[in-house]
Amino acid sequence: MLQEVILAVIVSVDTYLVAAAYCNSGIRIPLTSAAVINLTGAGVLGISLLLSDIAGCFIPAQLCRTLGLIVLTAIGVITVFKSLVRILVRRLSCKGELSLRTGSSGLVIKLYLDDTAADVDDSKLLSPTEAAALALASSLDSAATGLSCGFCGISPLRTALLTFAAGFAAITAGNLTGKKISSADRDLSWLGGVLLIAFAIFETIL
């Protein structure tokens, strides 16, 4: 049970950070949109855990654990790296974009770093459709994490239910602390990566 709780909390870190960014930008996440985000995230994680459980029936247990450790660590490192790149780009451009010009051509590459970009109509309200797009985009890491953790005897159903509940708690916490977190001007997206690496080590020790 402890493994499922820890995994649910780790997966919900990104949800919390996104909710905090939305709160700071004055964008409201209604209950229906929150449900869409959490259902999608929990469903993707649960299905990926189930698929890795099935794969574990055909792969030796020790090999499964080794593969899980490697993949989880890789996901964590990539997450930390993306956060570092994001911090660097923000420091290079306070406007949220970089312009790269080659020769006389006006090639401009814009790197959008806004977590609230899912609010495409600028309505300051995240619709269920926008929430679904946001959830699918952010579920890739959850899918990879689930495929890596299913070998460790983690219950897909319990983890999905706990992730769903943790997601609502994360959104609530993000709404309550969003302005304080965002006003600190710190990118905390690396935190999820560090927690994944710690979880991979924890699973190896068990």
User: Residue 68 is part of which domain span?
Assistant: 2-112+126-205
Cα separation, 159 vs 181, whole angstroms? 27
How many structural domains are present in the chain? Answer: 1
Exposure string of 9-24, with b = 16+ CB inside 10 Å and e = fewer, is bbbbbbbbbbbbbbbb
Q: How far apart are alpha carbons 45 and 55 in whole angstroms?
A: 15
Q: Is residue 75 part of a domain?
A: yes
**107-166: per-residue pLDDT in tens?**
333 333 455 555 566 678 888 888 888 788 777 777 877 777 766 678 889 999 999 999
Dump pLDDT digits (tens) for 123-132: 788 888 888 8
At 19-52, the pLDDT tens digits run: 887 887 788 888 999 999 999 989 998 998 888 8
Cβ-contact 111, 12 below 8 angstroms: no
Indicate whether 117 belongs to any domain. Answer: no
Q: Is residue 184 part of a domain?
A: yes
- Spell out the alpha helix ranges (H) of the chain: 2-24, 31-56, 61-92, 128-138, 140-149, 156-183, 190-205
